[in-house]
Copies of this chain bind each other. A is one copy, B any other.
Amino acid sequence: MRLSALVFLLALPALRADEGMWTFDNIPTKQIKAKYGVELDAAWLKQLQLATVRFPGGTGAFVSREGLVVTNHHVGRGAIAQVSTAKADLVKDGFTAAKPGDEIKVPGLELMLLVSSDDVTARVNGAVAPGTPDQEALKARRNALADLRKAEEARTGLTCEPVTLYQGGEYWLYRYRKFKDVRLVAAPEVQVASFGGDPDNYTYPRWNLDFALFRVYEDDKPYRPEAFLPFTQTPLRAGDLTFISGHPGTTYRGQTLAQMRYAKEIGIPFQLANLARQRGALEAYAKTSPEAARVSADAIYGISNGQKRLTGQLMGLSKPESLALVASREAELRAAVVRDAGLLTGSGGSWDKIAEAVARQKALLKEYTCVGTRGCTLFGHALTLVRIQEQQAKPSAQRLPEFSDGSLKATRERLLSPRPVQVGLDQARLAWVLREALEQLGVEHAYVKAVLGGRSPEAVAQAAYAGTKLQDPAFRKQLLEGGREALASHQDPLLVLARQLEPFQRSLHHQWEEQVQSVFAEHGGRIARARFQIHGKSQYPDATFTLRLSWGAVATYDTGSGTKAQPFTTFLGLFDRHEGWGGNAAAAEDGAFTLPERWLKAKPRLALETPFNFAYGCDTVGGNSGSPVVNLKGEFVGINFDSVLEGQGGYYVYDAATKRAVAADARAILETLRKVMDANHLANELLAK
């Protein structure tokens, strides 16, 4: 890792952002060396891999010899809420364990560490005879992967996951070590972790101290990880090259032009319209009482988050150069395929097949979307109960995906979860789900007729929630264990509704699988294989919530308003934005810009010039929340927590000019631990090498 790389970077601002979320088996180290003059050796990469852990829905990293793990506050928030009590709201007030004995175990929280992985493409493809119809091929591959997983878990005792890369161009088996004793060590107040709330989400400049510290235990003792990332003592500067190791969730960059056009013209606009109506329904419910407002807040925030992300995606896809780039790459690949008889036979027709499937996707979209439980918790439980006995009686390979051997346990756990359901909110959701069906599908649609029976959506929802007992986990357990017959005839109104939904939903699911998903899987795979044959693995696969490496420099970017975003923010700006909204006393918009009293008191002690957040050109998407950002020495410099609206088009097409991730600076974490959170011992632990 030579210092000259930095000089080089500063001189070449065009190189400030880099494309790709690369699998650790296929890091283009030569390309990195050619561009930056730095050589990432196998030991460096292994160290980073073994320090990175997967949280439910996000990423984290070992950051001390004694098993401290850092992640985003918003990734750990569910866990922090779970260990809060009526007296101690740790989400609101923050938490610091003064000594190891004060660290709070989070029941059920499990972290996963990728230990090793195998390419099983040949074995999976070997399970499919040539000429097999697409949907059967899809099932055969799923079964082959499930068998491999089962065998490998038995052999190694590790948790194994099948991974489909490159739209089916490759199949892998990833082996994870699982950590089951995870304890909360420290977290700032949510108000600081998510300062600016919904308004500032996806924006920059930003002031979010979005971190929380956990510790992994084994045998009731702090776990000593094989690898960890010490907090750096080298100040990070604009232009410095950084690396991010994490689990980006989903991207669509391998889609064909037809698929992306669909996303731009049909899919995303449809989703945005859906979200807007859903938001309207939930906001109407939230207005009915302060308690309704409180319990709806997270759901409404989630919708707003989706609206922003999709708006950013649409902005990106709508830039003429985006789809022009996709079109030219596709034309190039298709021309190369035409020149090779073997490729032509295997994948020459695949683009047209996918285009046909897109046409089917378009035709099915409205029904497939509207006929379902759509996030309504009790309706979802009801549908699970209606199906589970019949599904369990079949061989795993013939079941619906959520009842297969690999997923059944989680499905049962979800069904029996003791977590209280917000029944009022859930009823409002059901009313919305049914109203959508009525308005989008029309009063004459068979499902609408069956489920409404001439009544209004609101009346049906009201009657269902007035009569149901499904909110009681014990009742659900009783139904589950009461045998197939009893369950099949039980007249709980939500079960009755779910039975009306079931055949329609199953049929649509089947059509979607057969006419859309299996074609995308099969022919996406064929296109990927053609691409491998022509280019080798010079490209990275779409994100799949598996471990990836990206890199890029700390860098500004052009904002839409005509100025450039500063590479770093500082504590000064946190207080500027707080005071600029009038401080806690004034009407701070939605409370998004208030600060905890502890912070206002700590202000005179704080070194206000300390960097707080920074923008950097690593290629990330959701799932990279909590991912560690490291420098050339592999030291922890910050924790990723967001990326800017302007770059959300990166879900489909990467654009170096706008793709900027946002991280909380390691120095802000240390300064806060020492000066606000009374946690010098943790700051010292994080700095110890």
Contacts and interface: CB of A to CB of B under 8 A. Distances in A.
A587 B237 CA distance: 10
A566 B556 contact: no
Interface in A205-232: 205
Contacts of A608: 572, 575, 608
Interface string A542-566: 0000000000000010011111101
Nearest to A308: B562
Contacts of A561: 202-203, 559-561, 644-646
A341 to B, nearest CB: 50
Q: Which of A203, A572, A611 has the most CB of B within 10 A?
A: A572
Interface in A634-676: 644-646
B582 A576 contact: no
A34 interface: no
A203 B582 contact: no
A609 interface: yes
A203 B586 contact: no
A67 interface: no
A579 interface: yes
B238 A579 contact: no
A631 interface: no
A238 B572 contact: no
A609 B584 CA distance: 13
A556 B609 contact: no
A589 B586 CA distance: 35
B566 A570 contact: no
Task: Indicate the size class of the contact surface on chain A.
Answer: 35 or more
A572 B579 contact: yes
A518 interface: no
A563 B611 CA distance: 22
Contacts of A646: 561
Contacts of A569: 576, 580
Contacts of A573: 572-573, 576-577, 580
Interface string A424-467: 00000000000000000000000000000000000000000000
Contact of A568 (B10, B580, B611): B580
A567 interface: yes
A581 interface: yes
Contacts of A645: 561-562
A201 interface: yes
Nearest to A206: B563
A238 B645 CA distance: 27
Contact of A566 (B202, B580, B644): B580
B563 A570 contact: no
B238 A205 contact: no
A524 interface: no
Contacts of A10: 587
A568 B579 contact: yes
A202 B559 CA distance: 12
Contacts of A560: 560-561
Contacts of A238: 581-582, 586-587
Contacts of A566: 577, 580-581, 593
A12 to B, nearest CB: 13
A200 interface: yes
B564 A570 contact: no
A585 to B, nearest CB: 10
A589 B201 contact: no
A196 interface: yes
B201 A575 contact: no
A199 interface: yes
Given A572-B572, A576-B569, A562 B609 contact: no
A568 B581 CA distance: 7
B237 A582 contact: yes
Nearest to A558: B199
A657 to B, nearest CB: 15
B576 A580 contact: no
A564 B589 contact: yes
Contacts of A202: 561-562
Contacts of A567: 580-582
Contacts of A205: 580
Contact of A562 (B201, B237, B562): B201
A580 B563 CA distance: 14
Interface string A177-216: 0000000000000000000100111110100000000000
B562 A582 contact: no
Contacts of A568: 579-582
Nearest to A580: B566
A202 B586 CA distance: 27
Given A203-B563, A561-B561, A582-B567, A575 B572 contact: yes
Contacts of A556: 589
Contacts of A577: 566, 573
A575 B573 CA distance: 8
Given A575-B572, A579-B568, A563 B196 contact: yes
Interface string A288-309: 0000000000000000000010
Give the residue among A203, A566, A581 with the most B Cβ atoms within 10 A: A566
A311 B559 CA distance: 14
Contacts of A586: 237-238
Contacts of A611: 579-580
Interface in A226-248: 237-239
A572 B576 contact: yes
Interface string A86-122: 0000000000000000000000000000000000000
A239 to B, nearest CB: 8
16 contacts: A203-B563, A239-B587, A559-B561, A561-B645, A566-B580, A566-B581, A567-B582, A570-B580, A572-B608, A573-B573, A573-B577, A573-B580, A575-B608, A576-B576, A579-B609, A579-B611
Q: Which 10 A-B pairs have the closest CB atoms?
A: A573-B576, A566-B580, A572-B576, A560-B560, A199-B563, A203-B563, A568-B580, A572-B572, A203-B561, A570-B579
Given A564-B589, A572-B576, A572-B579, 4 more contacts: A196-B563, A203-B563, A238-B586, A579-B609
Interface of A: 10, 196, 199-203, 205, 237-239, 308, 311, 556, 559-564, 566-570, 572-573, 575-577, 579-582, 586-587, 589, 593, 608-609, 611, 644-646
